[in-house]
């Protein structure tokens, strides 16, 4: 057993290996962004897409390694290959990023930090607008 990135709990070596694999996969195929949700608020979202014969299995392995999110087939046109997408939003996305953090490249860490900072700025601006609206400022 080793002390892993699950915030204070010991993990099996195979679990750490899967999280490291997931981080490598995310480095090559994934991204972090803010997405507008119903109700007009933004959330952090991580996504990764794949196409091909083994795409569902690869993305399901990624989902299981992170312990969150969902995998779905995207709509496609007749001439295009089926694309599958993994996504996790909000707290799940942040938890997944924390798990992968020790194994992510600097490029993905910067991308995640920018998205999180942008999310905080958007939320602060929203709260100021709500405050001003309530105070009739």
Q: What domains can be seen in the chain, in order of their start residue?
A: 2-135 (3.10.28.10)
Percent with pLDDT over 90 in the chain: 55
Strand bridging mode 83-89 / 70-73: antiparallel
| Whole-number pLDDT of residue 96 | 96
How much is the average pLDDT of 1-29?
77
| Whole-number pLDDT of residue 81 | 84
| Whole-number pLDDT of residue 92 | 95
| Whole-number pLDDT of residue 52 | 86
CA–CA distance from 2 to each of 15, 43, 96 (Å)?
Answer: 10, 32, 19
> Lowest mean pLDDT: which of 49-53, 60-64, 65-69, 131-135?
131-135
| Whole-number pLDDT of residue 11 | 66
Among 9-18, 33-42, 88-97, 112-121, the range with the most confident prediction by mean pLDDT is 88-97
Q: What is the DSSP string of 85-116?
A: EEEEEHHHHHHHHHHHGGGS-HHHHHHHHHHH
User: Is the pLDDT confidence value at 3 over 50?
Assistant: no
């Amino acid at each position: 057993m080793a002390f892993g990135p699950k915030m204070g709990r010991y993990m099996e070596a195979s679990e750490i290996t899967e999280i490291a694999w997931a981080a490598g996969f995310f480095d090559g195929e994934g991204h972090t962004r803010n997405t507008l949700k119903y109700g007009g608020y933004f959330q952090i979202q991580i996504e990764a897409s794949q196409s091909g014969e083994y795409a569902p299995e690869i993305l399901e392995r990624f989902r299981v390694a992170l312990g969150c999110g969902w995998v779905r087939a995207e709509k496609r046109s007749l001439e295009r290959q089926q694309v599958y997408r993994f996504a996790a939003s909000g707290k799940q996305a942040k938890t997944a990023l924390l798990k992968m953090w020790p194994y992510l490249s600097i490029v993905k860490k910067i991308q995640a930090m920018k998205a999180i900072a942008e999310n905080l700025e958007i939320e602060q601006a929203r709260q100021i607008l709500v405050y001003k609206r309530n105070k009739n400022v």
